[in-house]
Amino acid sequence: MTTLLLSPELLAGDEAAVEGDAYRHLFRARRLAVGERLRVVDGDGAARWAEVAAVDRRRGLLRLLDPAPSGEPGYRLELLVAVPKKERASWLVEKATELGVVAVRFVETERGPRSLGPGTRERLRRIAGSAVEQCGRARVPEVTGVHAWSEVPGLLVGFAGRWVLDTGAGGGGWGDERGDAGAVLVGPEGGWSEAEAAQLSALGCRPVGLGERVLRDETAAVVAAAVLLVPPVAAPSPRG
Amino acid sequence: MTTLLLSPELLAGDEAAVEGDAYRHLFRARRLAVGERLRVVDGDGAARWAEVAAVDRRRGLLRLLDPAPSGEPGYRLELLVAVPKKERASWLVEKATELGVVAVRFVETERGPRSLGPGTRERLRRIAGSAVEQCGRARVPEVTGVHAWSEVPGLLVGFAGRWVLDTGAGGGGWGDERGDAGAVLVGPEGGWSEAEAAQLSALGCRPVGLGERVLRDETAAVVAAAVLLVPPVAAPSPRG
């Protein structure tokens, strides 16, 4: 099923015109025809069914119908991550979006880079929007930062689940404290400083491990999201 | 801890000379000094401790010591995947290697591309080798294919765990049949053909889902590896 991201104003109406890139995607690449159905979403969590009412050489007209499933996970998970390299930031955002994460927030750390490149945040938001259409969600995750380290306590307000990835922690250790929202903190390649680790501990962040191998930071972030958001295997997982 | 990939012949000896790229990496970038320890592996699963015995301007000499932990998972997991696009194949191989997969085999499918680009397999093997050093494994996963569809039954011989990813399967369904080795099949963007799905079913491949959202094929492959190889959360995972 095709999903199209519209503005919240358009999604609230009875019909919506589609031009430009979205027109080319729906009516040239995917060749949707009059009468065909798709799913339209507003990026804020709302989704409706829609039907192609008319198509001409430059625009299409959609008739907006009943609410549709949001495709959003029941759990609100945010990733707070040290600033990665550019290419790695792109796929971190893409994969986190596919998995259902609601925000990726880049955080300044003692041993990690302090800034994203110019235009990076806008590029990452476009990537998140495309991934929402691709995977059938309704909410575009927030991409924010680089946040000062001093903002971390504020960013964690309201989260019952608070985890910090720790390569020394072996496997597991996620605990039962989860609530309906949580955040996973992912440090830089050089690891957390002692001061950072102490502050995260004081904030109630639980150290968790992802197994014996050392995952790259962006891999670790995506795997943590998978562990928390993807339905688990029934039997105990083989470890190693 | 630094890991260096050596040839099996070198790993079997008492000392090993390091030149070229590996020299630059160990002694220029990481600045290992005489007396420092590292881990050397042969790419086939063997690992030893080593100590820097001498360094000059063009080569370093390592003294090879006791066996070291392999960093290999207890479960042997292979991924059999439809041919992805080039960039996506790179990160699939990198992330699968970090997670501990022992082989990535590209398979011809009715709705997927039939070939990798020229030089792609060699490039992917280099990526796998780098990831082994980065994550601290001892075995470089095999990267093979493109295999004809008719080879699939042969590729599955010896695997007790046989799963096929199916976006229609919802979440879970991994079952208890796992043994000590398994394979996950990941189809192309357009899905399996009816004939392919029927053959996989006849081969005992169990359809499993990764949740409500539609993951890209390479994301699905990596998430399936994470689900099977990463120690799970203790409590039931939130679903959505």
> Are A127 and A92 in contact, with CB atoms under 8 Å apart?
no
Q: Nearest by CB to B134, from A170, A216, A229: name it.
A: A216
Eight-state DSSP code of residue B6: -
As for the ipTM of the complex, it is: 0.84
B181 reaches A (C-beta below 8 A): no
Q: CA of A60, closest CA in chain B: separation in Å?
A: 25
Name the average pLDDT for chain B.
91
A to B CB pairs, distance under 8 Å = 170
CA distance B154 to B123: 26
Taking the model in full, what pTM does it have?
0.88
Token digits of residue B181: 């080795």
Alpha-carbon distance of A216 to A112, in angstroms, equals 13
B55: its two tokens: 């360094």
User: Given the structure tokens 């986190």, which residue do they identify?
Assistant: A96
- Helices (H) then strands (E): counts for chain A: 7, 12
Query: B112-158 pLDDT, tens per residue?
Result: 888 888 899 999 999 999 999 999 999 999 999 999 999 999 999 99
Distance CA(A121)–CA(A137), nearest Å, equals 20
- Rounded to 10 degrees, the C-alpha dihedral B77/B78/B80/B86 comes to 110
Q: How many CB atoms lie within 10 A of CB A17?
A: 14
Asked whether the beta carbons of A61 and A17 are under 8 A apart, the reply is yes
Determine contact, residues B72/B220, Cβ cutoff 8 Å: no
What is the widest separation between alpha-carbon atoms in chain A? 62
Contact A229 B237 (CB under 8 A): yes
Residues 13-42 of B with CB under 8 A from A: none
The minimum CA-CA distance between B226 and chain A, rounded to whole Å, is: 6
pLDDT at position A233 is: 56
Residues on chain A touching B100 (C-beta within 8 angstroms): 211, 213, 240
Q: Which domains does chain B have, with CATH numbers?
A: 3-67 (2.40.240.20), 76-229 (3.40.1280.10)
A211/B100 CB distance under 8 A: yes
Binary contact (A231, B172; C-beta < 8 A): yes
Per-residue pLDDT of chain A (240 residues; tens, 9 = 90+): 899 999 999 999 999 999 999 999 999 988 999 999 999 999 999 999 999 999 999 999 999 999 999 999 989 999 999 999 888 999 999 999 999 999 999 999 999 888 888 899 999 999 999 999 999 999 999 999 999 999 999 999 999 999 999 877 666 678 877 889 999 999 998 899 999 999 999 999 999 888 888 899 999 999 999 989 887 654 344 433
List, for chain B, all residue ranges whose pLDDT scores fall below the cut of 50: 234-240
B234–A211 C-beta distance less than 8 A: no
Q: What is residue A83's predicted lDDT score, i.e. its pLDDT?
A: 94
Is B231 in contact with A219 (Cβ distance < 8 A)?
Answer: no
pLDDT of res. B178 = 84
- Within 63-92 of B, beta carbons closer than 8 Å to A belong to 69, 71-75, 91
Q: Is A149 within 8 Å of chain B by CB? A: no
Residue type at A100? G
- Asked if B236 has any chain A CB less than 8 Å from its own CB, the reply is yes
Task: Say if B8 is an interface residue toward chain A (CB within 8 Å).
Answer: no
